[in-house]
């Protein structure tokens, strides 16, 4: 069987592009994590806006999404296939903390995912491209390079950090970003 995983590049020294990606990821992760500092479990589960989103759910969602895209950067489309039966109910649970989950657990998972992604940003061939899996939200036949995957993770994290800031401000008035 042929190995189709992207080739790794030397880890030292990191290119400016890789350093920029890592710094930008870390900045937006910091903003997201700051929004949940000092929260109780109840507050982490609070819907404080018209949205269904909660702070704990956002942490869980961003970790899950980052992990899926990092898997894609290494393993390609097979790592992002949807359920064979079309049942996306588990996807909905990715936006909320279930009864057996805690904010601390979601943050610990996010730390694990972030460490893995950072290691991939340092080593994966950024030009390696994979075809996107057949999903209704992807253009048929489109591909993504590892570079574009990591840029997408930055955008996803930044977008949800903004959501989290609004949700937190509605809970107790605390603002993360201004």
- Can you tell me the distance from the alpha carbon of 93 to that of 55, in angstroms, rounded to the nearest whole number? 14
Count of other CB atoms within 10 angstroms of residue 56: 27
**Residue-wise DSSP of 83-111:** -TT---HHHHHTTS--TT--HHHHHHHHH
The pLDDT of residue 98 is 92
pLDDT by residue (tens digit) across 13-29? 999 999 999 999 999 99
DSSP letter (8 states) at residue 132:
P
Q: Where are the extended beta strands (E) located within 2-154?
A: 129-131, 143-145
Q: For the chain, list the domains and their CATH numbers.
A: 16-80+94-172 (1.20.120.450)
Scanning the structure block, which residue is given the tokens 């990715």?
94
The pLDDT of residue 2 is 42
Question: How large a percentage of the chain has pLDDT more than 90?
Answer: 74
List Cβ neighbours of 175 (8 Å cut-off, separation of 6 or more): 165, 168, 169
Q: Quickly state the pLDDT bin for 84 (edges 50, 70, 90).
A: low
- Can you tell me the distance from the alpha carbon of 76 to that of 69, in angstroms, rounded to the nearest whole number? 9
pLDDT by residue (tens digit) across 101-124? 999 999 999 999 999 999 999 999
Residue 153 in 3-state DSSP? helix
Longest CA pairwise span in the chain (Å): 57
pLDDT by residue (tens digit) across 30-70? 999 999 999 999 999 999 998 889 999 999 999 999 999 99
């Amino acid at each position: 069987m042929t190995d189709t995983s992207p080739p790794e590049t030397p880890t030292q020294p990191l290119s400016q592009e890789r350093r920029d990606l890592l710094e930008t990821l870390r900045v937006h992760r910091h903003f997201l994590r700051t929004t949940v500092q000092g929260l109780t479990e109840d507050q982490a589960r609070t819907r404080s806006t018209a949205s269904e989103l909660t702070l704990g759910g956002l942490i869980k969602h961003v970790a899950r999404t980052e992990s899926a895209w990092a898997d894609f950067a290494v393993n390609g489309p097979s790592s992002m296939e949807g359920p064979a039966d079309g049942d996306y109910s588990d996807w909905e649970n990715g936006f909320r903390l279930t009864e057996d989950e805690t904010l601390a657990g979601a943050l610990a998972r996010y730390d694990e995912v972030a460490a893995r992604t950072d290691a991939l940003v340092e080593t994966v061939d950024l030009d390696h491209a994979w075809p996107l899996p057949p999903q209704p939200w992807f253009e048929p036949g489109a591909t993504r390079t590892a570079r574009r995957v990591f840029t997408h993770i930055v955008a996803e994290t930044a977008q949800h950090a903004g959501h989290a800031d609004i949700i937190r401000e509605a809970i107790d008035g605390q603002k993360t970003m201004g």
